[in-house]
């Protein structure tokens, strides 16, 4: 039995009263848990809310490396968010982060640096003012890639101003393939790569249409570098609520 913090990535109803929960844990990386009897009464229904995607919890779990599914003895929130789980815009960004992590975390291995980055990102989303929120998905997409070994090399200059998405770096000339960004979108990409704290995103002004295009291209970038990445369902939802 172990105690570990966790971020709930996905929760699926199972049978009449149970849930199958996918969680990114501090100790064991991504894990799957069967949670029985949490959807039967009003009282247990409150417990089911603990497993809402983007919740940050502390769990006492039964863990055996030989098992593909584990059980939870006890679960409690570590953070009571003000807006992440209730505000439509902020929840859509959190859902985007959860889906992205779900697609990227292939193996159940510990990655505490990534866990702390994601935990802090959720706290920052919760506290972010309106003028920071719009750029937050771009910040997440660009910085999350670092933990999976394909972060874009920020070598942008006035001459190296084409972002080659296949190579993950800025280039002098327009690449001979369709996976690249022109200077007008490559430059704000470089600015976000230089941004180490989300609060600084307020200084980066990107027109609405270019911001949408950049996020679409970044998802294309992930598709180029992550096998079987597929499509992100939350992108369209997020772009709709962000306007």
Q: What is the pLDDT of residue 41?
A: 59
Q: Which band of pLDDT confidence, cut at 50, 70 and 90, is reported for residue 142?
A: very high
Between 68 and 46, the more confident residue is 68
Q: Provide DSSP, 26-43.
A: TTTEEEEEEE-S-SSSHH
E strand or H helix that includes residue 194? helix 183-194
CATH class of 82-243: mainly alpha
In sequence order, the 6+-apart residues with CB closer than 8 A to the CB of 221 are 145, 152, 165, 168, 179
Indicate if the pLDDT at residue 42 is higher than 70: no
Tell me the pLDDT band of 135, cut-offs 50, 70 and 90.
very high
Tell me: the pLDDT tens digits for 74-87? 999 998 899 998 89
Cβ atoms of 224 and 179 within 8 Å: the answer is yes
pLDDT value at position 150?
94
> Lowest-confidence range among 11-20, 43-52, 166-175, 226-235?
43-52
Backbone dihedral region for residue 37 (phi beyond 0: left; psi -120 to 50: alpha; all else: beta): left
Query: Does the pLDDT at position 44 exceed 60?
Result: no
Q: Which band of pLDDT confidence, cut at 50, 70 and 90, is reported for residue 36?
A: confident
The single-letter DSSP state of residue 79 is -
Please tell me the predicted confidence (pLDDT) of residue 151.
93
Check for a shared fold between 1-80 and 82-243: no
Residue boundaries of the structural domains of the chain: 1-80, 82-243
Contact 222, 142 (CB under 8 A): no
Please state, rounded to an integer, the average pLDDT across all residues of the chain: 92
pLDDT of 138 strictly over 70: yes
Q: What's the confidence (pLDDT) of residue 9?
A: 97
- The dihedrals phi and psi of 35, each to the nearest 5 degrees, come to -120, 110
Question: pLDDT digit string (tens) for 85-102?
Answer: 889 999 999 999 999 999
Q: How far apart are alpha carbons 25 and 32 in whole angstroms?
A: 10
Query: What is the model's pLDDT at position 76?
Result: 93
- What are the b/e assignments for 44-65, b being 16+ CB within 10 Å? eeebbebbebbbbbebebebee
**pLDDT tens-place string over residues 158-211:** 999 999 999 999 999 999 999 999 999 999 999 999 999 999 999 999 998 999
CATH number of 1-80: 2.40.50.140
Question: What does the alpha-carbon distance between residue 146 and residue 10 come to, in Å, rounded to a whole number?
Answer: 23
Between 47 and 210, the higher pLDDT residue: 210
131, pLDDT greater than 70: yes
pLDDT at position 43 is 53
């Amino acid at each position: 039995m172990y105690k570990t913090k966790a971020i709930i990535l996905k929760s699926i109803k199972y049978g009449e009263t149970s849930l199958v929960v996918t969680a990114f844990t501090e100790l064991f990386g991504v894990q799957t848990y069967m949670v029985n009897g949490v959807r039967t009464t009003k009282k247990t229904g409150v417990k089911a809310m603990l497993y809402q995607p983007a919740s940050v919890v502390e769990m006492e779990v039964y863990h055996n490396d030989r098992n593909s599914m584990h059980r939870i003895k006890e679960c409690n929130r570590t953070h009571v968010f003000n807006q992440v789980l209730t505000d439509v815009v902020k929840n859509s960004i959190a859902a985007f982060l959860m889906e992205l992590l779900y697609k990227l975390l292939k193996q159940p291995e510990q990655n505490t640096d990534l866990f702390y980055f994601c935990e802090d990102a959720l706290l920052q989303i919760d506290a972010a003012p309106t003028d920071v929120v719009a750029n937050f998905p771009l910040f997440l997409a660009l910085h999350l890639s670092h933990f999976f070994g394909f972060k874009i090399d920020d070598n942008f200059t006035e001459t190296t101003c084409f972002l080659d998405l296949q190579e993950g770096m800025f280039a002098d000339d327009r690449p001979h393939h369709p996976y690249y960004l022109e200077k007008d979108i490559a430059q704000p990409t470089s600015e976000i790569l230089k941004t180490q704290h989300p609060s600084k995103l307020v200084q980066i002004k990107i027109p609405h249409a270019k911001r949408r295009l950049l996020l679409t291209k970044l998802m294309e970038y992930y598709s180029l570098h992550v096998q079987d990445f597929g499509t992100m369902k939350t992108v369209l939802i997020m772009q709709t609520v962000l306007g």
